[in-house]
Structure formats: structure tokens, C-alpha cells
Amino acid sequence: MSRLIIGAMIRTLGAYPSGWRAPGAHRDPRGDAAVLRRTAEVAEAARLDYLFFGDWLATGEDLAYRDPYLLARVDPLSAVTYLAGLTSRIGLIATANTTYADPYTLARATASADLLSGGRIGLNLVTGSEARTAGNHGRDARPSDDSRFDRAVEFEQVLRTLWDSFEDDAIIADAATGALLDPSKLHATDFDGRHLNVTGPLNAVRPVQGHLPIVHSGTSPRSRLFAAQNADLALVAVSDLEHAIAVREELRALAFESGRDDRTLKVIAPVLPIVGETRAHAQSIADELSELVQIAEDWPDAPPPAFPADRSLAQLSSLLGVDVSHRSPDAGVTTAVVAGFSAVGQELVEIVAERTGRSPSGDRPPTLRHLVVAASVNASMIVGTAEDIASEFEAWSDAGAVDGFNVLAATHPAQFEAFALGVAPELQRRGLLATEYEGTTLREHLGLARPDNVHARAHEVAAHAGSLRPGVRAGGAGGAGGPGGAGRGIEPASWHP
């Protein structure tokens, strides 16, 4: 039984769109500091490996209905730096968008946070953008998929090379001789790529972790290739166990073909557990959350223009293959009605039954509202007791489907603490989560070696070959941490200056 990597993806207003409406739930982002503090304390006591902060560089009224936690949130780097001061062992992962960020500024901020945290920071690199994000950054259009990933590849290489500006022993600090620095161990970056030109060196000492663990989340083919070639953790969106096994196999094969030790790539799936004292209790929580999700028919005339179009009886009718748009959303759906549904409709009825315990043949049949919500709210939900949830984690681990999970809490604090205080101890009992932090850095929690300094390796190669001038690069191709890059501790011969 190998231990899983267990992190929590923090969404303070809850990861379920109606989570903030649940009784006692945190619902005002102006109070996020206290929730973040409490969440970090509980997560570290539960020995979770890390807290993960996604990011979205735009906002608008639509998010209030679809993804409320995105409406107004603390910037991920501020969150991890703040929590680094309040915790001592748990990892802290922030998200940055390589399409819009500046590599020098980001390298400096992340190297600083890693120093301040004692080596506990990770960096999730995303490239995606929507029109609003482009507009917020003075760009008139979304970059093409290829150009955003071509830039991301250069960006990741520049980050690693900037982080390696100071070799670990570059600072001498000898008061007697007045020697503060060994200048031969401070390296320029001199990156000259198609998208990025960075001279360096970075004005921050090398991170405690050498290079921060790189995370990448995405679904497109370019995204998977980027993760396979450059990431330590790949966050995947998967629909079920079989899909997860296939995606992990594909990512590991891509990593191997890129010249990496594919075991160094950890595949992490998001999961949204609803935890109750009994299964029926958990189902009642899921049922209440489902009923709190607003649908178009809740407005007497018409929903607001920004309201999600797919959250309506009209949209549901097209999925069911039966016109239910004129019926009450709270009308029970009986077995006879379900018999006329399409295959998709039947599947929705099963999803609702699994989550809420509502059955068309029972005394609490599902309503059309439940079916609208099941169809329009995307969530990898598991509903049950702490043992039920832990057994599902164990089954995915045994099947080789994942290396770990990013746990999303439907509500804060209730469901987050139900997981941390209920499921985490059960995972520890089964050997799936450590009972104590074995190391002090995020790399150690993730079982990742500390990479060599690309320039120091170049020194060795140069000393050996008598030719190479470290730090001067012939252009963007080939990189410190990219495919075959020495940044991964892969033999220097594969690193092309």
C-alpha cells in the first residue's frame, strides 16, 4: 500500500456553487483571512501535504452563480506567503498564469516565499485565458493554444535558470576578509527565446528547494505534454476510475518518451467529498446543497443575463429528450416518467440517487431541480461516511489511477473540517496518509529529490570538457528543467548549453 499525496484545493466560499448558502458557511470574502488561518491550522494538524490555491485573472457577475469563490479572492501568492508565517510544515501551492505573468517578477516572488517558508512553496503554472483575462492585461485577443504553451515552455525554463542564479555556496559572507560573494558562482540567465528574453541573474538566493515543485493542470493535448515534460505534479480532470487510469498511463508514457523518469511525475485528481456521520446524513447534506443551487425558474420572469444558460428546465428538456419546461421544478420524478427519459436522463437520475438517496420509486423521489443541478454543476463528488470516502481513495490508489487527490470542500469550515478531522485519520489508519510529516519541505512531502543547480552542473561539464561557459545560452531551445534538462538531476550530457 503506497501512501497517497493528499492536498486541499482551497475555495473559501466553498467549492460547490451553493456552498456559501449552507447554514453556518463562510460567505463573505472580506472575512477570508480568518478562514484561511483556521483552514491552514486544521490542515496541518491533519498532516495534509499541501494547500493549493488556483487562480483566475478575471471576475464578473456570472461567477457569483457558477463559481462564487472566484468572484473576489485573495491572490494565491499573497495567500501562501501569509500562511507560511502561520504554519511550519504543510506545503503551500500558488497558481500563476504564464500567458500574463512576468518570469523575473514571479521567480523573485516565489524564491522569496520559499525562503520565508523554509522550502514549502509549490507553483501551479497555467496558460489558459478567457477574453476578460486578455482584456485585463491589455491584450486584445486570446493567444492561440500553441503560442500560449510555447511561451509556457520557455517560461518554465527561465524560472528554473533564474532560481539557479546563485549557487548554493555563492554567498561567502566572510567579515574578516570582506568577501561577501564568490562571483564565479553568480550566473546570468541570458535566455533569448521566441517569447521571452531574460538576462538575469535573479536578485534572490537559490530557493531552499532548489527549484519549487512545478504543478500543471489542464486537459488539452498540449497541456498534457507540458505537464509530462515539465511538471512534478499533474492535476487532471477525470470523469471516473477507468478514465483516471487511462489519463495517468498517457501522462506517464509522455513523460517517459520525453526522457524523464516517469515515476517522478505525480498525477493528482480533484475530488469533492460530502462527509456525514452516516451515509444517510451525508446524502441529506448533498440534497440540501443541491436544493440551494439557483436555477433559471427561481426568477418569476427571467433570470439575470449573467445567469448560466445550462441551469434551466429548458436545457434539461434537451438532455432528457422530454419537454419538462412547463412543469414545476420541484415536481417529483416517478419511475413512469423516468422510463421516457433518454440514456443521459437515466444517468442523471442515477447520479442524484447516489448523491442524495432520492429514488423515483421511493417516498422521496428526485425532482426536476435535482436533475438540472446534476446536469449543470460539474463536481467529482463522493458522498458518504469517512470510511466510505477513505475506501474510495483506497480503491483508486489500488487501481493505480492516481498518485494523490486534491480535496475540495463543498463548504468552509464544516465540510473541510469533516474531511480533515474524519477522513484524514481514517486514511492514516489505512497507511494512505502519513501520521507525521517525514520532511520539512514540500519536495520532501512529495518524495521529490532537490534538483542540481543547472550552472553548477555546467561547471562540472565545463571542467570536464574544458569548454563550456555556464549561464550563457544559445537560445530558448532545451532547458534547465525541460525535457532531458539537468534541472531534473538527469545526466548533464543531456543539457544543451
Ligand X SMILES: Cc1cc2nc3c(=O)[nH]c(=O)nc-3n(C[C@H](O)[C@H](O)[C@H](O)COP(=O)(O)O)c2cc1C
Q: Is the CB of 148 or the CB of 260 nearer to ligand X? A: 148
Shortest Å, Cβ 212 to ligand X:
16
Q: Is the CB of 287 or the CB of 403 nearer to ligand X? A: 403
Shortest Å, Cβ 240 to ligand X:
15
**Of 69, 78, 62, 125, nearest in space to 97 by CA:** 125
Shortest Å, Cβ 133 to ligand X:
8
Shortest Å, Cβ 73 to ligand X:
11
Angstrom CA distances, 285 to 128, 246, 290, 334, 388, stand at 33, 32, 9, 22, 15
Q: Is the CB of 270 or the CB of 413 nearer to ligand X? A: 270
Report the amino acid identity of residue 201: P
Rounded Cα–Cα distance for residues 384 and 279 (Å): 4
Q: Is the CB of 96 or the CB of 373 nearer to ligand X? A: 96
Shortest Å, Cβ 185 to ligand X:
35
Q: Is the CB of 54 or the CB of 366 nearer to ligand X? A: 54
Shortest Å, Cβ 167 to ligand X:
32
**Of 211, 214, 227, 122, nearest in space to 456 by CA:** 211
What the block records as the C-alpha cell of 204 is 534572490
Say how many C-beta atoms besides its own lie within 10 A of residue 103's C-beta: 25
| Cell 553568480 belongs to residue | 186
Q: What are phi and psi of 76, to 5 degrees?
A: -55, -40
Q: Is the CB of 52 or the CB of 495 nearer to ligand X? A: 52
Q: Is the CB of 95 or the CB of 376 nearer to ligand X? A: 95
What the block records as the C-alpha cell of 414 is 464544516
Q: Determine contact, residues 57/137, Cβ cutoff 8 Å.
A: yes
Shortest Å, Cβ 110 to ligand X:
16
Residue nearest to ligand X (CB): 128
- Interacting residues with ligand X (CB under 6 A): 54-56, 95, 97, 126-128, 145, 217-220, 222-223, 235, 237, 270
Q: Determine contact, residues 449/72, Cβ cutoff 8 Å.
A: no
Q: Is the CB of 58 or the CB of 421 nearer to ligand X? A: 58
Q: Is the CB of 56 or the CB of 396 nearer to ligand X? A: 56
Rounded Cα–Cα distance for residues 407 and 423 (Å): 11
Rounded Cα–Cα distance for residues 186 and 455 (Å): 9
Shortest Å, Cβ 11 to ligand X:
10
Rounded Cα–Cα distance for residues 108 and 363 (Å): 60
Q: Is the Cα dihedral 169, 112, 457, 253 positive or negative?
A: positive
- CA-only gyration radius of the chain, Å: 25
Shortest Å, Cβ 222 to ligand X:
6
| Cell 475530488 belongs to residue | 271
Q: Determine contact, residues 85/42, Cβ cutoff 8 Å.
A: no
